Structure 1
Amino acid sequence: MSYQVNKSDAEWRAELDPEEFRVLRQAGTEAPFVGEYTDTKTAGSYRCRACQAELFRSDTKFDSHCGWPSFYAPLAEDRVEYVEDRSFGSVRTEVRCATCGSHLGHVFEGEGYGIPTDQRYCINSISMTLVADEGPEDAPRRA
């Protein structure tokens, strides 16, 4: 697959710390309930930590109690790509950044969360950077 951002492993290793590289570039998974954004309620956009492409908005984030930040939809369907994952003896759907191909997490189908879709995107915190929205106190003032 060809991506808009295409770098060698050496280039990615120079930009990412070892744990970021393991998760983003080698499809690793961070431990549940320890990620930076698992319980975050801050309004803003979640971007790919590798390339800064905007992937998810905080208004689609919900608490699924799965141990990873969960979203019910990406910002737009063209922001992510889906890959069949047959690792660990099961079939899952891997979610990758469509801009750089970095591993983000997995998406699962299922109801019962009281959300608008039946999609549960369980995304590694280490795969994302949260860019907070400007609050009213930070908004530009009109003269």
Structure 2
Amino acid sequence: MTFGLPAWHPTTVENLQKLERVHRHGLHFIHGRHLPPPLEQKMMPMAMHLQHTDLVFFKRCLSGATDFDAMARITERRPLRGDDPQHPKLQPATIRTKFAESVFSFRVVEPWNDLPAALKDCPVDQFPALCKEYLWRNFDQ
């Protein structure tokens, strides 16, 4: 259901709701009428899953594990006081339409900038598990 999410990421609220509805039906099939809290389900909520797949794909792009140039439309922001010089903040290209906000190179920048430096520096093979753990810790239920 979520294969290739960075490419076909739902862009409208309506499409996201449809995807969440299918997700919820699957959870009801597994758990029955009363769903346990998300952490006990051992399945990420759809919004978290979308962010996780974007971040994992971006990390793979940065490491050269894919042919996609994720940094083609992303630049490093001018350093501000208090910024970590080892991990400069990224800045997406300027957008002109509402649709452009849903493009991968725009939507991945803010979550990437919010990640701790240790997570950005970890090896690519460890990143998915560590990123998932980080997202669960910072998930608002």
Fold shared by both chains (TM-score > 0.5): no
Structure 1-normalised TM-score?
Answer: 0.25
More helix by share: 2
Q: Which of the two has higher C-alpha Rg?
A: 2
